Amino acid sequence: MWRCLMIEVKNVHFSYGETEVLKDVSFTIEQGEWISVVGHNGSGKSTLLKLIAGIEIPSKGTITINHIPVDESHIYDIHKQLGIVFQNPDNQFVGTTVEMDIAFGMENYGVEHDEMHKRVDEVLEAVNMTAFKTHEPHFLSGGQKQRIAIAGILALRPNIIILDEATSMLDPAGRVDILNVVKSLQEKYGFTVIHITHYLDETLTSDRIFVMNQGELMMTGTPEAVFNQGEKLIKIGLSLPFAMEVYYTLYGDVRFISESELYQLL
């Protein structure tokens, strides 16, 4: 179901007018990876998302998705490769019922009617929302709305799902729930996840973390590798994950530590 995929960003620059907001950014992302992108406001992470999604085109450098160049002549092909879940799901809903909303994107892609109904049932079951098939999406809870938004993306069979601060309007329990849903679906289908977030606790189960600062890719690595350099994160105004914050307050040392390890020390 899911095609082979690699994202390559090579020496990318981007400017708004005379203001350079991305500076010589390069990286690759392999199929099935979960990448978390963090950085303070103005760091360039949102602009990077727009470039990967083909919403903007680099001023210099190249981006390819599954060996397809992200440029104006390939925008339709690029958009079929990925789906974005935004922080406010209300902005994504276009149908009067959950079923119609999920079907809308497939209609635009020319999916046959029988296949469309099959996919609607499949993705609603995947996100545990089958019982809400005929409900109006605007009357659902925040977490339920995000589940429907995710289902709508899944129905299009993308290779990449981008979470654009998709948990920022949810309470802590809701954030955990939505990320667990996406993680479970990723393990089942093998798609790539790019997760833009300002909650660093959400990055702990990532394969890799990208740290953006002043338009540059300042740091990249596994969660342990990145958070063992926590002083650098503090210096650019980022908070540490909860367990590391507590450890730092108690012991004055910055190191990667899980909540379970912290509890054993206390």
Phi and psi torsions of 127, nearest 5°: -105, 15
Nearest in space to 125 (alpha carbons), one of 101, 105, 154: 154
Distance CA(228)–CA(213), nearest Å, equals 18
**What is the reported pLDDT for 3?**
44
Tell me the CA end-to-end span of the chain in Å, nearest whole number: 47
Nearest in space to 192 (alpha carbons), one of 206, 180, 202: 206
Question: What mean pLDDT value characterizes the chain?
Answer: 92
Question: Is residue 4's pLDDT more than 80?
Answer: no
Question: 155-164: per-residue pLDDT in tens?
Answer: 999 999 999 9
Nearest in space to 201 (alpha carbons), one of 234, 165, 240: 240
Distance CA(100)–CA(84), nearest Å, equals 19
Distance CA(183)–CA(206), nearest Å, equals 10
**What is the reported pLDDT for 1?**
43
Nearest in space to 116 (alpha carbons), one of 130, 106, 125: 106
Domains parsed from the chain with CATH numbers: 6-227 (3.40.50.300), 228-266 (no CATH)
Distance CA(134)–CA(234), nearest Å, equals 47
Confidence of residue 88 (pLDDT cuts 50, 70, 90): confident
**Alpha carbon 18 to chain centroid, angstroms:** 29
Question: Is residue 50's pLDDT more than 80?
Answer: yes
Average of pLDDT values for 6-16? 96
Average of pLDDT values for 195-212? 96
Nearest in space to 152 (alpha carbons), one of 85, 77, 54: 85
**What is the reported pLDDT for 193?**
96
Global pTM reads 0.90
Distance CA(240)–CA(195), nearest Å, equals 17
Q: CA-based angle 238:242:244, to the nearest 5? A: 80
**Alpha carbon 259 to chain centroid, angstroms:** 24
Question: Is residue 62's pLDDT more than 90?
Answer: yes
**Strand stretches in the chain, DSSP E:** 6-16, 19-30, 34-38, 60-65, 68-69, 82-86, 160-164, 192-196, 208-213, 216-221
Distance CA(247)–CA(126), nearest Å, equals 38
